[in-house]
Amino acid sequence: MKVIRIKSVVGRKLRDNFRAVLLSEIVKRQKIINDKERSLLFHSNGKIKPLSERTGQEEDTLQNLQSDWWALERLKRKSICECSFCGDNQSDMVYIPSSREWICMKCAASRGFSSHEKF
């Protein structure tokens, strides 16, 4: 298990700002994807477009957009920017090799992980 602790106030502020920038960019890109999906799923008047009215190309585009959205979501969930359990993005993190994810110190403690364990 790998613990990343930042003790200095300036270091924590840099870490938190960096995480905020990364998470903001992921959310921004996911919103763009959502808007593209919406334009394929709904008519301009806001009514849902029935499946029978969608072309094969539109369906392929929707699948690709959903794949891209989930790739971003997996990136966010597995990154050191956000706890995989509670979503905290302003705490020191612990890397859990068995699940290949980062979790905050609070979640690690509540799940019985010790910073002294070796994996």
CA-CA distance, 38 to 44, in Å (whole number)?
Answer: 10
Give the start-to-end residue ranges of the domains of the chain. Answer: 2-110
> Which residues on neighbouring strands pair with residue 103, listed in sequence order?
94
CA-CA distance, 16 to 48, in Å (whole number)?
Answer: 40
Instruction: Give, in order, the Cα–Cα distances in Å from 113 to each of 4, 24, 41, 82.
Output: 14, 30, 45, 18
pLDDT band at 118 (very low <50, low <70, confident <90, very high): very low
Give me the pLDDT at residue 5, please: 86
pLDDT tens per residue across span 43-53? 989 999 998 99
Contacts of the segment 5-11: beta carbons below 8 A, 24+ positions apart = 5/92, 6/92
Q: How far is CA 10 from the centre of its chain?
A: 25
Length of the chain: 119
Tokens of 37: 């999906």
pTM of the predicted protein model: 0.78
Tokens of 9: 């106030």
pLDDT tens per residue across span 74-106? 999 889 999 999 999 999 999 988 888 999 999
